[in-house]
Chains A and B, each alone.
Chain A
Amino acid sequence: MLSENEIKIVEYLKTKPDRTASAEEISKALSIPISSIYSLAQLLKEKGYVRTEEKKVTKYELTEEGKLRLQNGMPEERLIKILNGQNKKISELREVLGEELEIALGWARRKNLIKIDKDTITPLVNDYHSPELDLLRDPSKIDNENSKQLISRKLITAKQETFLLLTLVQDVVETTKAITYITPEILRSGEWKKSPIKEYNVEAEPPFYPLAKKHFFKEFLERLRDVMIELGFTEVNGNYVELEFYNFDLLFQAQDHPAREIHDSFMIEGKGEIRDEELIERVKEMHKKGWKYEWDENVALRLVLRSQTTAVTSRVLSSKPKPPIRTFTIGKVFRPDSIDATHLIEFHQLDGLVIEDGFTFRDLLGVLKEIFYQIGIKEIKFKPAYFPFTEPSVEVYGKIEGLGWVEMSGAGLLRPEILQAVGINSDAGAWGIGIDRLAMLLFGLKDIRLLYANSIEFLRTFTG
C-alpha cells in the first residue's frame, strides 16, 4: 500500500527515460521537503518499488583568491604579458606587480617561462595562457587530477557531497482503492470494511504550526507579580506622565540635584497641579531644612515621563494611607540614554513599600532576601549605598551563575523627613528592582532589546 506522496514519487520516476532521479530533483519537482524524500525513499525501497544508490560527488568551489584570479588573471600570466618578450629588471616589475611579484616569479620559473639572472628577468616565451584560468572559468572541467594544483594554490576548495539516486524497479499496480481520509460517508457506508486504510509516514517531520503563546518577558513580569502577592503585597499602578513633585521633590531630591538635569529625564510640555496645599508647604519646608535652598513650586509642577516607579510609591505616600501598608508596583520607566545591547530608554522596575510600626532595617533586608529567593536568586549580599530618599540605604547584589555578583536592587528605610512631610507617624522601608537586565541575565540573552524583539520568528522559536 502506498501513500499519496509515495505514489507521486513513483509517478515522477515513470516520466524519466532511465526511470532514475536524485532525491534533490524529486524534492524540487514535487515540493516535498528533502528530509521527507529520504524517508519516503526508504519506505519505497522496503516495499520493493525502487532501488536506491548513494553516489559520492566531489564539488569544487572557488575561494576568494580564486575569484580574484578569475577576474585579474594569474600572476605568472600577467608577468609574461608585461615582459612582452623583453628583459626587465625586478625593481621595474615590482612597481607594476607589487606584492604579487614573488608569486609570479615563483610560478613562472616553476613552469619554465622565464630565466632569472641576478636582478634581470628574461622571458623564455612571448605569450602564455595559464590553463588554471580555464578551469576557474568552468569548474565542471575540474577533475581529481587537475584539482590538486588548484587546491595547493588555494584557488579552489573541494567538498564531498552525497547524492541519493532512486530508480524505479516495479510499477505500481493498485488493485484496491485505499482510504486516505475517514469521512462520515465512509463510516456510514461501512466502506472502511472493504478497502484498506492508507498508511501515513508517521515518522516524518510535520509542517509548521503557528502556536499561540504568551510572551516570555510578560510571563516573567507576571511571575514577579505573583511573588509579591504571595508575600502579602497589594498591587498599585501609576501613570507614565508624572509631576516632578512625585518623581523627585517628595523623594527629597533637591531641585538642583544633578539627577534632575534635562538629560536625565524626558520632559513633557505643560504644567500639572498639586491639590494638597499642606503637602506643598511641608515638602517645601523639608527641602529648605535639609538642603538649605529656596525650593521652587514651579519646578515641582513640571511634567516628566516618570524616571522611576518610586513615583508610584510617592503617590501612595501622599495619599495619607493608614499603616500597616504593603504595596508594590511593576511598570515602565523612561530615561534618556543611548540604546544598545545593555541599555534601553524604557524599561521596567518593581517598587515596593512597607509602612509598619516597628519595621526595622533588618526587617527590610529580610523582605529583600525573601523576594530574591522567590525569584530564584538564592545568594545575595548587601552593600551600603546612597539614595536621597532612604537612610540607611542598601544595594542588593545577587549571584548569577557564570557572571558573579550583579547589582539588582536599591533599598532603604524611608527618611523620617519624608514620612513627616506626608504625615505618616510610623516606620517605612522601600526598594526598587530593575527588571529588564535581571530578566536578560536569567533568560541568558546577550542583547536586552530581544525582550522587545519585533521578530515573530524569534518569539516562535524562543523557548525561554
Chain B
Amino acid sequence: MVTIVVYKWDIINQLKIKESELEELLFNLKSEVKPVDQDHVEIEINNDRPDLLASSGIIRAIKGLKKLELGEAKYEVKKSEYTLSVENVDTRPYAIAGIIRGIKFDEDKLKELIQFQEKLHITIGRKRKKVAIGIHDLDKITSKNIVYKEIPLNYKFIPLNGNKEITVKEVLESTDQGKQYGNISVKNGKTPAIMEDDGSILSIPPVINSEKTRIELTTKNLFIDVTGTSLDAVISTLDLLTTNLAEIGGKIEQVKVLSAQQDFWSPLLKHTTMRIYSDYVNKKLGVNLPTSQIVEYLRMARFDADSMSKNEIEVIIPPYRVDIISQIDLVEDIAMMIGYQNLEPSTYKLSKIGNTSEKTLISRKLRDLSVGAGFTEIFTFVLTSDREIQGDYVKILNPVTVDYTVIRNSLIPTTLYFLKQNQHSRMPILVFEIGDVVIRGNTDTGYKNSTRAVYAIMDSKVSFEELQARIHQILYNLKINFSYRKSEHHLLIKGRTAEIIRDNSEVIGIIGEVHPEVLEKLGIEYPIVISEIYVDKLSGDNE
C-alpha cells in the first residue's frame, strides 16, 4: 500500500462533486482517504493501480464511475524530432524516452509530478532497481539527439541541486541519492548515463539528474527518460507517466529509440485486446447481467468495450492499466462499477459437516482436565530469546529485538520466565499452557511444529508428588496406559526427575523439581515443580 498527498480542490472542482462525496468515491476505487490540512488529503493507493498514484489518474477513474466520461480516455500522440540512441549497458539494458509539451505547472502540480515519479520508483520501479525515471526541462536540452551509454566514473557534471562540476564518483559518494542508489547500476568503474550527443549529461540513472535540465514552475515542455532492467516495466512506466500528464493537458510526443536490435517510437502506448464472456462474468460474480449492461460497466471503468455477440465482449486495455492480466481482472472492475455495496451477499448454505483437527480435539480435552486439576491457563509467545533456551532450535536470521531471536523448542523455559515475573503475586501459583514448539522433523522444510502441554506449581513449599498427583489424574482420564521412569534433565533436580512413559515404550513427557541452581540463575526465590507433556503423542488409540 502506498500513500499520496494531493490538492483536493482540483479533484473536487474538476469532478463537480461535494467534498463529502470524495471519500465514498475513493472507497469504491479501493482507496482510503485521510485529511492532511484544509487543502490536501492523503490517499491510500493499492499496489495494483499505479495509474492512480496521481490525481489525474484518480480524476480519470472517477469520471467513469460517475458516468461523466465513458470508455477510454484518448490522448493525441505526435512524433517528435528527438532520438534516443541506446548503446550496450550491461547493468541496466533498457532505456526509452518521451516528450510532453504544453504543461502548465503550479506548485501543487509540480509537487505531484515529483511525488508520482517517486511513488513509481518505489512500486513498479522496486526502489529504482527495476525502473528509474528522469524528468527534464526539454527547453534546456540543446541537442535533439540523446544517447544512453556507459561512462567512466571520473566523468564530470553538475548534479541536481549542485553548484559546480564534480565527478560521477563524487556524486555517488557525496549526495544522498548517490549513497542510496549508487551501487545499483555501477559496474567495472562505469555508470549508465543519459546524455546529449555533445557529451553533456542529463541524468545518471538510477541516481540523479543534472542541474542543467532541472524542472521549475516555469517549465512547459518535458523530456522524460526511463531506464531499467525489465523492458515491460520500463514501457509501462513511461506509458503511465505520459498518459497521466496528458490527462492534465500535456501533449504527448514520441521519441525515436535507436538500438542495435531495432528502432521504435516511445512511449509505445500499446493497447491489448481481450475477450470476455458475459456468462463468465455472471458466473464469477453470481449475477445475471445482460451483455449490454456489462459493456456499460466496462466503459464506466474507462475501457473501450463492444459486444461481439450475445455472449462475447471485446475489451481494449489501455496502456496504463498494467494490472489487467486476465479476464478475471476485468470481472473485478465490473464488480467495482456495480458497487460492492450493491452485490447482495448470498444466503449462507451449509454444504458439509465441519470437523475439528485431531490437535484441537486432544487440546480441548486436555484443557478441560487441566482446569479441573486446578491449573490456570497462560498464553505466552512462541518467539523467545536464545538466552532462555538450550538444545536444537530454530534461529531467526533477521530478529528485530534481542528478546525474540529464536523459536522455542520447549515450553519449560517460557513457563519459568512467566513464573519469575509473578513471584510477588498471591501464592500458590498453578499454571498450564498448551502450545506449539518447533523441532527438527522429516518434513520438506526440515522442521515441524510439536504441540506440548506444560504444568507448573510455584509456592513457598512445593512437592514433586503434589504435581505428579494432578498430572497422573489428567493422563489417567485420557485413558492412557503410562508409568514413570527415573530420569535426568538439565533444569531439574537429579533424583526428583522422571520421564513419563506410554505403553512401556514411548516417552510422552517429563516431570520434576526445578534445580535451585536454575532458580538462582533466573532470580526466582520460590521452589517450582514442572512437567512437560508431548501432546502429539497422546492422541491416537486412546479412546
Contact = CB atoms under 8 A, between A and B. Distances in A.
Interface in B411-470: 417-418, 421-422, 425-426, 428-431, 436, 438, 443-449
A238 B425 CA distance: 37
Contacts of A393: 332
Contact of B396 (A266, A275, A370, A417): A266
Contacts of B347: 366
A456 B429 contact: yes
B275 to A, nearest CB: 15
A365 B396 contact: no
B345 A369 contact: yes
B46 A386 contact: yes
Contacts of A452: 379-381
Interface stretch (A27-35, A36-44, A192-200, A222-230): A222-230
B522 to A, nearest CB: 14
Given A268-B397, A386-B47, A217 B376 contact: no
Contacts of A370: 348
A153 interface: no
A454 interface: yes
A241 interface: yes
Contacts of B30: 383-386
Given A241-B394, A272-B445, A229 B356 contact: yes
A234 B376 contact: no
Interface in A242-273: 242-243, 256, 258, 262-263, 266-270, 272-273
Interface stretch (A2-10, A113-121, A181-189, A332-340): A332-340
B348 A237 contact: no
Given A228-B354, A256-B126, A269 B397 contact: yes
Interface in B345-402: 345-348, 350-357, 359-360, 364, 367, 370-383, 394-401
B449 A239 contact: yes
Given A241-B445, A345-B383, A208 B426 contact: yes
B328 A384 contact: no
Interface stretch (B9-17, B67-75, B280-288, B491-499): B280-288
Contacts of B286: 360-363
B251 interface: no
A107 interface: no
A416 B328 contact: yes
Contacts of A382: 340-341, 343
Interface in A204-230: 208, 210-215, 217-218, 222, 225, 228-230
Given A362-B287, A384-B332, A452-B380, A270 B446 contact: yes
Contacts, number: 256
A155 B328 CA distance: 77
B366 to A, nearest CB: 11
B430 A210 contact: yes
Interface of A: 208, 210-215, 217-218, 222, 225, 228-243, 256, 258, 262-263, 266-270, 272-275, 290, 292-293, 303, 305, 324, 326, 332, 334, 336-339, 345-346, 356, 358, 360-363, 365-370, 381-386, 391-394, 413, 415-417, 427, 451-452, 454-457, 459-460
A229 B345 contact: no
Contacts of A292: 230, 232-233
Instruction: Describe A's contact surface by its main secondary structure.
Output: mixed
B27 A392 contact: no
Given A241-B407, A455-B421, 4 more contacts: A272-B446, A292-B230, A326-B352, A362-B346
Given A290-B325, A361-B335, A456-B425, A346 B383 contact: yes
B354 A230 contact: yes
B445 A303 contact: yes
B283 A360 contact: yes
Given A211-B376, A451-B379, A362 B285 contact: yes
Interface of B: 27-30, 46-49, 122-123, 126, 129-130, 230, 232-233, 283-287, 325-329, 331-332, 335-336, 340-341, 343-348, 350-357, 359-360, 364, 367, 370-383, 394-401, 404, 407, 417-418, 421-422, 425-426, 428-431, 436, 438, 443-449
B448 A239 contact: yes
Most buried by B among A241, A292, A459: A241
B407 A305 contact: yes
Contact of A415 (B285, B328, B377): B328
B444 A268 contact: no
Contacts of A337: 400
A339 B400 CA distance: 9
15 contacts: A212-B375, A213-B371, A230-B354, A237-B359, A258-B122, A268-B396, A272-B446, A305-B396, A332-B382, A361-B284, A362-B343, A383-B27, A383-B30, A457-B425, A457-B426
A240 B448 CA distance: 7
A378 to B, nearest CB: 13
Contact of B354 (A234, A243, A346, A455): A234
Contacts of A211: 376
A221 B324 CA distance: 38
Contacts of A360: 283-286, 346
Contact of B348 (A241, A367, A391): A367
Contact of A229 (B351, B355, B448): B355
Most buried by B among A305, A345, A456, A459: A456
Contacts of A356: 351
Given A241-B394, A345-B383, A362-B344, A256 B130 contact: yes
A243 B445 CA distance: 6
Most buried by A among B230, B345, B377: B345
B354 A240 contact: no
Contact of B428 (A210, A241, A270, A381): A210
B382 A358 contact: no
Contact of B351 (A326, A383, A392, A413): A326
A34 to B, nearest CB: 18
Contacts of B426: 208, 210, 457, 460
A403 B370 CA distance: 37
A267 B230 contact: no
B444 to A, nearest CB: 5
Nearest to A315: B444
Contacts of A367: 348
A368 B345 contact: yes
Nearest to A449: B381
Given A210-B430, A365-B343, A393-B332, A239 B443 contact: yes
A340 to B, nearest CB: 12
A459 B425 CA distance: 11
Contacts of B46: 385-386
B384 to A, nearest CB: 11
A235 B354 CA distance: 8
A277 to B, nearest CB: 13
A87 B192 CA distance: 82
Given A339-B401, A362-B286, A240 B438 contact: yes
A360 B286 CA distance: 5
A235 B378 contact: no
Contacts of A365: 340, 343-346
A132 B177 CA distance: 67
Contacts of B325: 290, 417
A235 B356 contact: yes
B352 A232 contact: yes
B444 A210 contact: no
Please name the 4 residue pairs, one residue from A and one from B, whose CB atoms are nearest each other, closest first. Answer: A360-B286, A362-B286, A366-B346, A229-B354
A50 B68 CA distance: 92
A416 B325 CA distance: 11
Nearest to B441: A239
Given A229-B355, A457-B425, A413 B444 contact: no
A215 B344 contact: no
Contacts of B326: 416-417
Given A237-B357, A360-B285, A454-B380, A212 B400 contact: no
Nearest to A361: B285
B3 to A, nearest CB: 14
